[in-house]
Structure formats: C-alpha cells, structure tokens
A and B are shown apart, each in its own frame.
Chain A
Amino acid sequence: MINQFVHLDIFDVGLAAILLLAHGLVSVVYRLGLGRKIVVAGLRMVVQLLLLGLVLQYLFALNAPAWTVLLIVIMVLFAGREATARQKYRFTGLWGFAFGTGAMAAASIVVTVFALTTQFRPDPWYDPRFVIPLLGMVLGNSLNGVSLGLMRLGEAAHDMRPAIEARLAVGGTRNQAFAPAMRVAMQNGLTPVLNSMSACGIVFIPGMMTGQILAGIDPLQAVLYQLLLMFLIAGATGLGVWLAVRCGVWRLSDPRHRLRLDRLKIR
C-alpha cells in the first residue's frame, strides 16, 4: 500500500475553518440572524469531534470492555433521543423513545456483531478500535430511517383511523387493519437508505471513502470498505425500521384488537 498520506495538523484545519466566515458573511448580508447559530454549531462540532478523538484514543489504549460498553450505551441513548425528538405524532410516556432506542440498538448491535465476527475478525472480537466506529456509523445512519418510520406510523394511524376501524369492525385482526399504515411507515423509513444506495458513487462520493482515499488507501479497497458499510447500514436500517414499526403497531392497538389513538400525542 502506498502510504503517503498528508499528515494534518491543527493549522491546516484552522485554515479550512475560515470558510465558515463565508457562511457568516451570507448571514450578515441577508440578515438571516444565523450568525450566533453558525458560531455555536461550528464550535460544537469541533469540541464534540475532538472529545470523541480523545475518548477513542484513551479507550483504544485502555482496551477494557466495560468502558466500551459504557460508551455504546451513551451513544445508543443519544441516538434514541435524536430519533424521537421533534416529532409531530409522538407516543405518550416514554414509549416512543423506548421503541426508537430499542429498535436501533438491537438492529445496530446485531449487524455490528455480524460484521465483527465474519468480515473484520479483530482479536479480540470486541476490540474497541473496530466496535466503536462501526457501531457509530451504523447507528447514526439507521437513526434517520427509524425516526421517519415511527413518525409516519403515528401520522398514518391518525389519518387512516376510519379505514383501520372499518377493517376491525368487520372482524379484521389488528395486523390486517394496520397493514396499510405499516406499509407506508416502512416505505417511508426505508426510502433514505435506498436513495443513498442508488445515488452513492454518482451523485456523491461518500465521506468515509473520501477520507480513506485522501489518507492514501487504494481506491478499490476504499470502495470495498464503503460497500461493506453500506450493506451493514442497509441491513441495520431495515431491521431497525421493521422492529420500531412493529412495536409501534403493538402500542397503538391492544389485545382486544382496538385502535388506541389515545396513546398518541399530537403537537
């Protein structure tokens, strides 16, 4: 491998940060009032990523499973919060958060363990240098789908109420009655990952691949890595969306096969 990657130092990155000034200039000229937000978002990004870098450095050196698990739990909880915040149709109580978090965690962990034990095979298999980046990537990308799927399910149950109850009223089961709502919810949840699979390589070059190529890795190897990750992401998203929507249907109905819109809050 031709390992001639350009070592970045803090000044190179600082120079690039000047580009944010252009961003700020637009805001000032057009009075978007975004100046403050741009500064905050920029600073957040820098601090969060640097912290992540330090934490990862420390964790890799430490190589203690307990700390890896702790970081995973924190990542999963944040993902769950992100996935279920800002939704118009939300489940009462903590159910939405629980479904989002649970579905994402289960799907991401299954897929990550699959990748670790069959493709990457680090020794030990739970080596944080592999676990954390993989899980983070899969988690972050399935978040979008799970979030969309759950939101669309709530919306569909609300909008399709007459159709769902009509089906129940002639003796349909809750699975039959919810089938159309489930269908639109899952279609919605899976659309982003399908779009990015069809667009990647032509419309955009994935960030990870770009990073690898810049870091000096053979483009074909970078492509294989990217493909592997895309498949993992697609798998985790499919599994996560399905799980979240199934749980949602379970919560929006009851054992007497009724539609329970009282368990849905609309903002």
Chain B
Amino acid sequence: MADRVLEISDLVAGDLPSVTLALHVGEIVTLRGPSGIGKSRLLRAIADLEPARSGSVKLRDANLATMPAPKWRDRVRYLAAEPGWWAETPGPHFREISAVRTRLAALLLPENILERPIAELSTGERQRLALLRGMEGAPAVLLLDEPTSALDPAASDAVVDMLRIYAKRGGAVLLVTHNPQQAKLLGHRHFHLDQTGCHEISLDDMVAGVK
C-alpha cells in the first residue's frame, strides 16, 4: 500500500505475541485490549524507549535500528499516560514558547498557564500540555496512551479536534483508548491486542468491546 509512514513487523515487546501493523499518512488507528496486557509496553518499544525482543520498525524507508535514537523519537513521539516534567513550570518544556502560546486556547487552557508551577496544575491541564509538548515540531507519528483519560467532555472534544487536524495534515496516530465513542469518532481502523496477538477488528466489534 502506498503512503506508509510507520511499518511495524513482527515486533515482540515484553511477553506479548508479535505485532504487525502499518500506519498510513493521515491515518488514526485505535488499539484496545485488556488492562495490563502490555499496550504501553508496545508503544514504548515502538518509540525505542525500551528494547524489543525481536522484529523491526520502519519510518518510511528508515529503520529504527539505524537511526540515532533521539532523532527517531523526535519523529515518532510516545506520550505516556502520565506525563513527566523536568522543570518547575511548563514553559521550559517547550522549544518555541511563542508558538505554543497561540495554541493554548484551542485546548481550552488559560493564557498564563506556562508560567505557573506544574505542581499546582490539574491532571487534565497537565495532560493537555503534554499533548502540546508532544506535537511540537510536527512529528510524523504520535503514539498516544489514553490522551483524554483525565479530561472533561469539553476538553476531550478539543483534543479530538486537534488530533483530527494533525491527521488531516498528514500525521499518523496510534491511539490506545478505552473509550469506544472516541475510537469511533477518531479511528480509521481498529485493532485489538491480547495474548493471541494483535488483530484488526471491525468498528462494530470495537464498539461492542469484543474481538
């Protein structure tokens, strides 16, 4: 198939069976599966934050193993379910603070948030800031681990809109979510992950929560 961005071939992460999956330009693929099965582990292995047991991942024509790791993760961004912060305020976490400032409103974030102590922000605010941080510099692929778990419906809709625009402009998203409505709203294809492997499922099965 043409326009493949990310190609995961027989990737084995942790105790999971091997996973084969491709993401195309502008495509959002959802991933469901029982808690604790290793979805985060799979995303981390794709971002090369932990070594895979075997298999390969390719970004267009470039192999993960041959690209320097920081460059790989700059193009293939993993966003953890609980984001980490290395400075006291959100500001220093961004590359171009003026560009970020213009995007705050789209995620319903107050203007002065970049100067406030992270410890004082709500979980939902931190989650949205982490999304802005992860989308900075236009990565080719986003690996999202429940990006709206801490958000109210309005903020959640804002995130969905932002991801739609990202995909429309050619980005590819692998989205782990437990929210069938969101998966239905965003996903172009759907996968289910369990001990037997990673299988593509229909939208109806996905919404019904069965394989």
- Listed in ascending order, the chain A residues whose CB lies under 8 Å from chain B are 160-173, 177, 180, 255-259
- Extra A-B contacts (4), CB below 8 Å, given A160-B84, A171-B70, A258-B69: A166-B86, A166-B130, A258-B48, A259-B49
- Listed in ascending order, the chain B residues whose CB lies under 8 Å from chain A are 47-51, 69-71, 73-74, 77-80, 82-86, 130, 133-134, 136-137
B73 adjacent to A170 (CB under 8 Å): yes
B74 adjacent to A171 (CB under 8 Å): yes
Find chain B residues with CB under 8 A from A160 CB.
Answer: 84, 86
Find chain A residues with CB under 8 A from B47 CB.
Answer: 169
A258 adjacent to B84 (CB under 8 Å): no
* Docked complex Cα distance between A167 and B93 (Å): 9
Output the least CB separation between A116 and chain B (Å): 43
B83 adjacent to A258 (CB under 8 Å): no
B70 adjacent to A166 (CB under 8 Å): no
- For A165, A170, A256, which residue has the most chain B Cβ atoms within 10 angstroms? A170
With beta carbons under 8 angstroms apart, the residue of B48, B51, B74, B82 that contacts A170 is B74
What residue in chain B is nearest A177 (Cβ atoms)?
Answer: B86
* Docked complex Cα distance between A118 and B133 (Å): 53
With beta carbons under 8 angstroms apart, the residue of B69, B79, B136 that contacts A256 is B69
Output the least CB separation between A77 and chain B (Å): 34
* Docked complex Cα distance between A160 and B85 (Å): 9
Find chain B residues with CB under 8 A from A163 CB.
Answer: 84-86
A170 adjacent to B136 (CB under 8 Å): yes
A173 adjacent to B70 (CB under 8 Å): yes
Output the least CB separation between A192 and chain B (Å): 27
What residue in chain A is nearest B143 (Cβ atoms)?
Answer: A169
In order of increasing CB-CB distance, the 10 nearest A-B pairs are: A162-B84, A171-B74, A166-B84, A163-B86, A163-B84, A257-B69, A256-B69, A171-B73, A171-B70, A169-B78
